[in-house]
Amino acid sequence: MGDDFLSKGFLDVPIDLSLDLFQEINKLKKEKNAVILAHYYQEADIQDIADFIGDSLALSQQAAKTNADIIVFAGVHFMAETAKILCPDKKVLLPDLNAGCSLADSCPADKFAEFKSKHPDHLVISYINCSAEIKALTDIICTSSNAEKIVESLPKDQKIIFAPDKNLGAYIRKKTRRDMVLWDGSCMVHEIFSLEKIIKLKNQHPDAKVIAHPECEAAVLEVADYIGSTSGLLTYASKSGAKKFIVATETGILHQMQKNCPDKLFIPAPPNNSCACNDCPHMKLNTLEKLYNCLKFEQPEINLSDDLILRAKKPIIKMLVLSAQFGL
């Protein structure tokens, strides 16, 4: 398949409409010894065809241990990059190369290197939602499910730079009371929620629990009954005795919540405008059709230089080792 087909960042190849894509994808997966890893924010069909669905930590753990020859990463670019860094000898595919991340984009490597040089006695902890170049400038990577434990594992007087998410950073700083300077980045999806509308909704449903991802702004986290990673939110919703939840994170998660708990009601937290902005436009670029073409033609592929892989791998491995020690 020539590069011209990839000019849009995905394989724009017409698909025979009579094909059962679920069947075809499963067939290709077996033939090629491929595994599909999907994030909870992917569209429902992609979650249903995936071999493994998870949060960022679980997906990186799966990537690190897979025996597959090909990893199709149904998520965004930094996630597929992380898989490539962990498995440089495997072919890592991303259905649409345009699937970026506003949070990762908010932290350009040159600006971050400058920021880092101003705090020479600080240790750098970066949220996994960043580019491979930022990972290479980092001491330890974290995700929303292990950030607090990773920070707590450091000596009490250790000064920390936390990048790139200022909301997660502020939340962890408040919980751990550590000396942390924050990079001023954020996620466009988690900053869109309206506190006023959430409170109004909560008044209409006083029996509902408000559950929120720590990428949300502090004011939203203040009113949350539970704060956690996507996996944390799912587990809380399953185990809680409550029957109604107002969910302040990307709407893709509602698919698994509803599947796990068909008798419970999950209400997406309202955004501060009238559009469906709590859908991540990057995550939702992947479609079943793009995933099929990607697996069939083995493109678009993630490629990184050996040198970058070597430098970006160390802080990810540190995270995986610490997470195993924490029993995560």
How far is 33 from 26, CA to CA, in rounded Å?
A: 10
Among 230, 278, 286, 323, binds ligand 13P (CB under 6 A): 230
What part of residues 109-148 is at the interface with ligand SF4 (CB under 6 A)? 129
Sheet holding 159-163, edge to edge: 140-142, 122-127, 159-163, 180-182
| Partner whose binding site includes residue 144, from ligand SF4, ligand 13P, none (CB under 5 to 8 Å by kind) | ligand 13P
Do the bridges between strand 34-39 and strand 52-54 make them parallel or antiparallel, or are there none, so unpaired? parallel
Residues in the interface with ligand 13P (CB under 6 A) total 10
Task: Tell me the three state secondary structure of residue 91.
Answer: strand
Provide the mask over 41-60, with x wherever binding to ligand SF4 is found by CB under 6 A and - wherever it is not.
Answer: x-------------------
Provide the mask over 62-91, with x wherever binding to ligand SF4 is found by CB under 6 A and - wherever it is not.
Answer: --------------x---------------
CB of 255 to ligand 13P, least distance (A): 14
Sheet holding 34-39, edge to edge: 52-54, 34-39, 70-74, 91-93
CB of 19 to ligand 13P, least distance (A): 30
| Partner whose binding site includes residue 202, from ligand 13P, ligand SF4, none (CB under 5 to 8 Å by kind) | none
Minimum CB distance to ligand 13P smaller for 90 or for 213: 213
How far is 72 from 298, CA to CA, in rounded Å?
A: 9
Tokens of 97: 């190369």
Q: Where are the beta strands (DSSP E) in the chain?
A: 34-39, 52-54, 70-74, 91-93, 122-127, 140-142, 159-163, 180-182, 209-212, 226-227, 244-248, 265-268
| Residue 138 is a binding residue for ligand 13P (CB under 6 A) | no
How far is 64 from 17, CA to CA, in rounded Å?
A: 35
125 with 161: CB under 8 angstroms? yes
| Residue 102 is a binding residue for ligand SF4 (CB under 6 A) | yes
Phi-psi region of 327 (alpha: psi -120 to 50; beta: other; left: phi over 0): left
Provide the mask over 149-188, with x wherever binding to ligand SF4 is found by CB under 6 A and - wherever it is not.
Answer: --------------------------------------xx
Minimum CB distance to ligand 13P smaller for 215 or for 289: 215
Site residues (vs ligand 13P, CB under 6 A)? 55-56, 129, 143-144, 187, 213, 215, 229-230
Site residues (vs ligand SF4, CB under 6 A)? 41, 76, 101-103, 129, 187-189, 250, 280, 282-283
